[in-house]
């Protein structure tokens, strides 16, 4: 099974400029998109009528911001817009299939104010409580976590550790996820630095590979041996993020 996850930074923009077609050409079984910035009403009609895919969307109350979308060949048994109980507007799609569950998540950035950073911490706490309860199940979690986990996941760790995105408290959330038995699937195959999924627009950051690894596929421990590979698809362009790809036997 082939899964792709991509922060598109605007689904309409990526559709209109043709870049979204790159991922559909890959024919993934499941495509998870973050920061779609659209409600169902203003998603381009061709995307709502794809022959091979079911579309699910959790848009933010302001549809010009955030939002997550799921394109899936097989229709899930159930799709929810949150974790165990609360509605997470524009941030979570939980899809239950016969043999596994996938979470498509756009985590808050935490930048701009103390309140926004606190909101990010609260969101991660709700997420981790859910993962703690479900860690024995077949779980796949993907999306834009807005956190670089290790020093090899960005070029300037000693400077970045003072700002949201690489704060010690944020990195501890991902440590906790690993302690629960989840596997950072990319690091199962590649332990090298300079593998990034996000680059700031301008200043030739992408050309010079000055970025951060913010996007992940985490897999529950009992699915670890099912992972075939995980790759960062820098060849697919159009957004300030690139997709990540998980191939797994399910």
Backbone φ, ψ for residue 75 (5° rounding) = -75, 125
Backbone φ, ψ for residue 164 (5° rounding) = -55, 140
Structural contact between residues 40 and 14, judged by C-beta atoms closer than 8 angstroms:
no
Q: Is the four-CA dihedral 205, 239, 227, 172 of positive or negative sign?
A: positive
Catalytic annotation, pick one of 25, 51, 144, 240? 144
Paired with 143 in beta bridges are 105, 216
Rg (CA), the chain: 17
The bridge status of strand 101-106 relative to strand 139-144 is parallel
Enter the tokens of residue 34.
């973050």
Active site residue 144: yes
Tell me the three state secondary structure of residue 80. strand
Catalytic (active-site) positions: 144
């Amino acid at each position: 099974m082939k899964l792709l996850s991509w922060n598109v930074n605007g689904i309409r923009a990526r559709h209109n400029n043709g870049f979204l077609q790159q991922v559909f050409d890959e024919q993934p079984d499941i495509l998870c998109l973050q920061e779609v910035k659209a409600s169902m009403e203003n998603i381009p009609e061709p995307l709502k009528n794809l022959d091979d895919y079911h579309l699910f969307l959790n848009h933010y109350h302001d549809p010009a911001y955030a939002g997550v979308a799921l394109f899936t060949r097989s229709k899930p048994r159930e799709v929810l817009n949150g974790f165990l109980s609360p509605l997470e507007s524009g941030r979570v799609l939980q899809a239950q299939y016969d043999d596994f569950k996938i979470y498509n998540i756009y985590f808050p950035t935490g930048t701009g104010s103390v309140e926004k950073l606190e909101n990010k911490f609260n969101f991660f706490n709700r997420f981790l409580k859910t993962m703690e309860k479900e860690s024995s199940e077949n779980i796949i979690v993907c999306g834009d976590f807005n956190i670089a986990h290790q020093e090899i996941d960005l070029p300037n760790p000693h400077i970045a550790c003072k700002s949201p995105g690489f704060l010690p408290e944020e990195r501890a959330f991902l440590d906790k996820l690993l302690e629960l038995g989840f596997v950072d699937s990319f690091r199962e195959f590649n332990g090298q630095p300079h593998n990034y999924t996000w680059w700031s627009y301008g200043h030739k950051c992408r050309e010079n590979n000055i970025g951060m690894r913010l996007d992940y596929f985490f897999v529950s421990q009992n699915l670890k041996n099912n992972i075939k590979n995980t790759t960062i698809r820098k060849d697919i362009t159009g957004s300030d993020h690139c997709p990540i790809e998980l191939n797994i036997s399910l």
